[in-house]
Amino acid sequence: MHGNPIYYIFLSAVLLASRSISCHNGEEILDYASVAAQNNQARSVHQGDRHTQRKVAIHNVRVFDGHKLQDPSTVIIEGAFIGRDDRDAEHIDGNGATLLPGLIDAHCHPSNLTHLQDLARFGVTTAFVMACYSSEMCKSLKNHSGLPDTLRSGDPASAPGSVHGTLTAMVDPTLLISNQSQVPSWMTRQLASNPDYIKIIAETPGLDQQTLDLLVDQSHQGGKKVVCHASALAAYSQAIMANVDHIHHAPLDTAITSDMVQTILYQHQVVTPTLTMMRAIAENEPETRNFQAAIDSVSMLINAGIPILAGTDANTQPSVPAMVPFGISMHDELENLVTSGLSNLEALQAATSLPAKYFGLHDGGVIALGKRADFFLVEGNPLEDIKATRNIKTVWLAGIEYAARSNGTVTGVER
């Protein structure tokens, strides 16, 4: 838990001072340089909190290790990692509660410390930032003691005149890609900032298939996995043909076909459907969006055995189709995935060990000796009732205790 009162004073100032800049059409985007400076200053104020890491032995807990539920046991925190020696440790009786690996939001858009705090207090210890128009801002989210770890994309690859291209043009029109000839220079620019993965956009109108194919090929040559935005049937078809590593979102027009499912399976692609966002968009635009198509698509993917990851698309940007809250939305997503056909066990894996596996995280997503001490304690058994993930008692991030809820329960949107 953050123990430095100066930090809270500074954070309040950050929130009051945070500003945005208006574009020609009246929409607003972040003042990235200002937010990055505020995040970096907050980190410098709060660096001393590493002293809050201490040796702790948590006894009598049922451990979901990221793969299965273990018998009651003891988990030991030694610094930032899980250890084995409980000598001189502080002892905590878990009273039969369930210890879960910290949740991994495989698709979200945090920009400031308030977003990271919201993620942390709801048990999310790792966040994949899915659009970084400013590498400086995204880098400013990293290495905050007692807050989630973040990984980031670069600038999303989009075409002039497309929905996402219009947003990109507000930030920097030179980031747009009109044809294949611009891909090498665009990729060189992206790789220079060393993103954790590359994000591309499939939409109509948008990048043509040949350009998408080349983007994937050059990303792989640069050693980066590719995440592809696809929220319509035609976009899914493009993402499949380009053989991207990860397809994000689910169609809101027409469900995917069985042939598409088989190709996704054959190509070992992974899907993060962000059903919480899909539902929110459909509720905002019921005349043109079909949430049932998303549910049907995800059910087909699940039945075929295609890996599903939990992501929320959490954001607070007014110009997007729907805003989704940070942190609590991961619990909504778990419930949406269960409704779509995942078992409780599979849904928990989708938010822990599977994103770690498919994004190549070697120290998270599981509770095991030597791994990061990222986990949270809940009352009840989420393998029996997935809503039990909301009954949060305590959260640890790299061995630092974050906070306990005063009422012992996390509340969210009822579905």
Enter the DSSP assignment of 313.
-
HSE, CB side, 13 Å, CA atoms: give it for residue 276. Answer: 27
Residues 29 and 135 grouped into a single domain: no
Residues 262 and 127 grouped into a single domain: yes
Q: What is the pLDDT of residues 62-111, one digit of tens each?
A: 999 999 999 999 999 999 999 999 999 999 999 999 999 999 999 999 99
- Asked whether residue 282 is assigned to any structural domain, the reply reads yes
- Tell whether omega for the bond before 307 is within 30 degrees of 0, i.e. cis: no
Q: What is the pLDDT of residues 175-223, one digit of tens each?
A: 999 999 999 999 999 999 999 999 999 999 999 999 999 999 999 999 9
- Asked whether residue 213 is assigned to any structural domain, the reply reads yes
Q: Is the pLDDT of residue 8 over 50?
A: no
Q: CA–CA separation, 44 vs 67, rounded Å? A: 37
Q: CA–CA separation, 415 vs 51, rounded Å? A: 41
Q: Is the pLDDT of residue 7 over 90?
A: no
Going by DSSP bridges, is the β-strand pair 98-101/198-201 parallel, antiparallel, or unpaired?
unpaired
Residues 235 and 313 grouped into a single domain: yes
Q: Which residues of 287-302 are buried (b: 16+ CB within 10 A; e: fewer)?
A: eebbbebbbbbbebbb
Q: Report the SS3 class of residue 319.
A: coil
Q: What is the pLDDT of residues 331-355, one digit of tens each?
A: 999 999 999 999 999 999 999 999 9
Structure tokens at 218: 């050059």
Residues 105 and 216 grouped into a single domain: yes
User: Residue 42's pLDDT is what?
Assistant: 87
Q: Considering 358, 377, 397, which residue would you say is the last residue of a domain?
A: 358
- Asked whether residue 96 is assigned to any structural domain, the reply reads no
Structure tokens at 236: 């899914």
Residues 168 and 268 grouped into a single domain: yes
Domain count, the chain: 2
User: Residue 4's pLDDT is what?
Assistant: 37
Mean pLDDT computed over 344-368: 97
Q: CA–CA separation, 196 vs 387, rounded Å? A: 32
Residues 320 and 192 grouped into a single domain: yes
Q: CA–CA separation, 393 vs 389, rounded Å? A: 10
What are the φ and ψ backbone dihedral angles of 62, each rounded to 5 degrees? -80, 125
Residues 28 and 149 grouped into a single domain: no
Contact 216, 242 (CB under 8 A): yes
Q: Is 172 exposed, middle or buried (0-12, 13-18, 19+ CB in 10 A)?
A: exposed
User: Residue 23's pLDDT is what?
Assistant: 36
- Asked whether residue 95 is assigned to any structural domain, the reply reads no
Q: Is the pLDDT of residue 404 over 80?
A: no
Residues 44 and 185 grouped into a single domain: no
Residues 34 and 109 grouped into a single domain: no
**pLDDT grade, residue 54 (50/70/90)?**
confident
Q: CA–CA separation, 108 vs 197, rounded Å? A: 14
**pLDDT grade, residue 415 (50/70/90)?**
very low
User: Residue 280's pLDDT is what?
Assistant: 97
- Asked whether residue 204 is assigned to any structural domain, the reply reads yes
The gap from C-alpha 113 to its chain's centroid, in whole angstroms, comes to: 15
Residues 112 and 45 grouped into a single domain: no
Residues 132 and 252 grouped into a single domain: yes
- Asked whether residue 343 is assigned to any structural domain, the reply reads yes
- Asked whether residue 236 is assigned to any structural domain, the reply reads yes
Q: Considering 338, 358, 378, which residue would you say is the last residue of a domain?
A: 358
Q: Is the dihedral of CA 317, 321, 323, 324 positive or negative?
A: negative
Q: CA–CA separation, 260 vs 405, rounded Å? A: 44
pTM: 0.90
Q: What is the pLDDT of residues 254-309, one digit of tens each?
A: 999 999 999 999 999 999 999 999 999 999 999 999 999 999 999 999 999 999 99
- Asked whether residue 396 is assigned to any structural domain, the reply reads no
- Lowest mean pLDDT segment, chosen from 56-70, 87-101, 225-239, 401-415: 401-415
Note down the domain range covering 149.
101-358
CATH code of the domain containing 281: 3.20.20.140
User: Residue 46's pLDDT is what?
Assistant: 63
Residues 109 and 36 grouped into a single domain: no
Mean pLDDT computed over 373-387: 98
Q: Considering 49, 67, 84, which residue would you say is the last residue of a domain?
A: 49
Q: Report the SS3 class of residue 235.
A: helix
**pLDDT grade, residue 364 (50/70/90)?**
very high
Structure tokens at 137: 């801002």
Count of Cβ atoms closer than 10 Å to residue 26 Cβ: 7
Structure tokens at 389: 């993930």
